[in-house]
């Protein structure tokens, strides 16, 4: 009997319903704040919930009760749409002032073609005699089930793999970029996005393994495929909660992409060597005397303005002259200042974290990580072993 609430259908139904709630919340948030990444995430969750409908209603007993239903025509494999949406979701967050351009629609051609194809075979089959007495018509069985669906397994696998690779590359390029521009990056590292990518990669690998086993080794029963769907439902809930409550809108106003200005960079090797030494000395003296690193919000543009230097030239000077990225360059000054303050005994009046904040750090996590990276020991260990 439909609906049949059991140990398989009930958890899926509850989780899918909760997922749809966050879909609605993300859409409302998008229409209020106009942040396109909320729209992308809402669409991702909507598609995943839609895909789970097939198994949820199956466990509820729909297929047994309504054997001639035409729902199979509309349970469209939407993984072709999820892959580019994941990519554009991450791109819209990690790209300053991101705008969805017309050329990006090409990424969604495969899923749009599939949707049109499904509607075409439905209208064709619906005009054939005996269609109302069966679940699937002639084109659904002879073309879609026999040819298209097996091809979609391989196409979906290849597409998802490529988009995940591109998205991870996009994410790590972003992390590398912020190290070249910001002195404190903890709040900009987007660890939540990394969790998001890992979760969907795990789903992709699980689904691919299940397809291989089901196609080549043993035919998996409906109950055996339930585990993937419950895992998918939990991922939707996790992503919905984190995506809705994590504020990444501040990244939209950050403009840290730049390319060197050819006119500001010397042409000859000899001239480059001379000017690099002058620039290196200028930057080093300014950092030592003016201590701009004490400002926790210091970034490459701020320092370039203080030094009255071209931003690209300053970046080149730090990278080549000091052999460091901007983040490591500034934080080394902060760590050295922290050690000097310990030598002066400031730890007797302030906590280690308080001293770290006075040196320009803005979070405990960043301070501990940077200090250990530079000194190969923790702040407390350094205090115990070097300060008497």
Q: Spell 211-222 as b/e; 16+ CB within 10 A means b.
A: beeeeeeeebee
| Amino acid 257: pLDDT | 53
CA–CA separation, 209 and 189 (whole Å): 31
Average pLDDT over residues 107-134: 92
Contact by Cβ (8 Å): 302, 295: yes
Q: What is the pLDDT of residues 345-370, one digit of tens each?
A: 998 888 999 999 999 999 898 999 99
The band of 41, judged by pLDDT with boundaries at 50, 70 and 90, is very high
pLDDT score, position 189: 85
Q: What is the pLDDT of residue 63?
A: 77
Number of C-beta neighbours around residue 209 at 10 A: 11
DSSP-derived secondary structure for 66-98: -TT--GGGT----HHHHHHHHHHHHHHHHSTT-
Cα gap 282→242, rounded to integer Å: 45
pLDDT value, residue 388: 63
Are 167 and 154 contacting, i.e. CB atoms less than 8 angstroms apart? no
With a pLDDT cut of 70, the percent of the chain lying above it is: 93
- Whether the per-residue pLDDT at 339 is higher than 60: the answer is yes
Q: Residue 240: is its pLDDT beyond 80?
A: yes
d(CA 297, CA 153): 48
Per the model's pLDDT, the better-predicted residue between 226 and 268 turns out to be: 226
pLDDT digits (tens, 9 = 90+) for 180-205: 899 988 888 888 899 999 999 999 99
Q: Say whether pLDDT at 271 is over 60.
A: no
Rounded average pLDDT over 40-59 = 88
CB atoms within 10 A of CB 197: 18
pLDDT value of position 250? 66
Q: In this model, does residue 153 exceed pLDDT 80?
A: yes
Residue 136 confidence (pLDDT): 87
Reading the block at residue 52, the tokens are: 């789970």
* Average pLDDT over the chain, rounded to an integer: 87
**Residue 259: per-residue pLDDT:** 46
The number of C-alpha atoms within 13 Å of 96 and in the hemisphere containing its C-beta is 11
Contact (CB, 8 A) for 155 and 80: yes
Nearest residue to 232 (alpha-carbon basis) of 74, 80, 56: 56
**pLDDT at residue number 252:** 66
Residue 247 has pLDDT above 90, yes or no: no
Note whether 188 and 251 are within 8 A (CB): yes
Neighbour tally for 251: CB within 10 Å: 21
The two tokens of residue 244 are 């809705």
Least confident of 8-17, 23-32, 210-219: 210-219
Asked whether the beta carbons of 106 and 115 are under 8 A apart, the reply is: no
Q: For 92-138, give the DSSP string.
A: HHHSTT----GGGGGGGHHHHHHHHHHHHHHHHHHTSTTGGGSSS-H
- Return d(Cα 330, Cα 332) in angstroms, integer: 5
Say yes or no to pLDDT of 9 above 60.
Answer: yes
In the structure, what pLDDT confidence band is assigned to residue 217 with cuts at 50, 70 and 90? Answer: confident
CB neighbourhood size of 156 (10 A) = 22
Distance separating alpha carbons of residues 151 and 275, to the nearest angstrom: 60
Tokens in use for 103?
Answer: 């050329």
């Amino acid at each position: 009997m439909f609906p049949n609430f059991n140990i398989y259908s009930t958890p899926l139904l509850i989780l899918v319903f909760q997922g749809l709630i966050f879909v609605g919340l993300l859409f409302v948030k998008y229409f209020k704040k106009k942040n396109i990444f909320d729209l992308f995430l809402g669409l991702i969750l909507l598609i995943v919930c839609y895909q789970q409908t097939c198994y949820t209603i199956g466990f509820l007993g729909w297929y047994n009760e309504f054997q001639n239903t035409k729902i199979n025509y509309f349970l469209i494999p939407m993984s072709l749409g999820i892959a580019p949406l994941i990519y554009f979701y991450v791109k819209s967050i990690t790209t300053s002032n991101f705008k969805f351009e017309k050329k990006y629609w090409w990424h969604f051609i495969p899923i749009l073609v599939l949707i049109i194809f499904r509607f075409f075979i439905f209208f064709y089959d619906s005009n054939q005699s005996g269609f109302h007495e069966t679940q699937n018509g002639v084109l659904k069985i002879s073309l879609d089930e026999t040819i298209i669906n097996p091809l979609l397994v391989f196409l979906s696998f290849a597409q998802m793999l490529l988009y995940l690779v591109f998205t991870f590359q996009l994410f790590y390029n972003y992390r590398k970029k912020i190290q070249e521009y910001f002195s404190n990056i903890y709040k900009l590292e987007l660890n939540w996005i990394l969790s998001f990518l890992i979760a969907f990669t795990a789903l992709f690998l699980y689904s691919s393994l299940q397809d291989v086993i089901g196609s080549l080794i043993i035919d998996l029963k409906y109950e055996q495929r339930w585990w993937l769907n419950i895992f998918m439902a939990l991922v939707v809930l996790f992503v919905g909660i984190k995506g809705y409550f994590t504020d990444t809108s501040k990244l939209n106003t950050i403009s840290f992409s730049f390319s060197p200005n050819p006119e500001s960079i010397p042409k000859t090797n000899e001239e480059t060597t001379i000017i690099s030494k002058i620039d290196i000395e200028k930057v080093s003296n300014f950092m030592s005397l003016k201590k701009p690193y004490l400002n926790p919000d210091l970034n490459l543009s701020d320092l370039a303005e203080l030094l009255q230097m071209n931003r690209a030239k300053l970046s080149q000077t730090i990278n080549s002259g000091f052999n460091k990225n901007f983040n490591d360059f500034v934080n080394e000054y902060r760590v050295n200042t922290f050690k000097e303050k310990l030598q002066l005994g400031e730890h007797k009046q302030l906590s280690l974290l308080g001293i770290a904040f006075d040196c320009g750090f803005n979070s405990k996590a960043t301070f501990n990580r940077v200090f250990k990276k530079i000194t190969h020991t923790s702040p407390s260990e350094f205090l115990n072993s070097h300060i008497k």
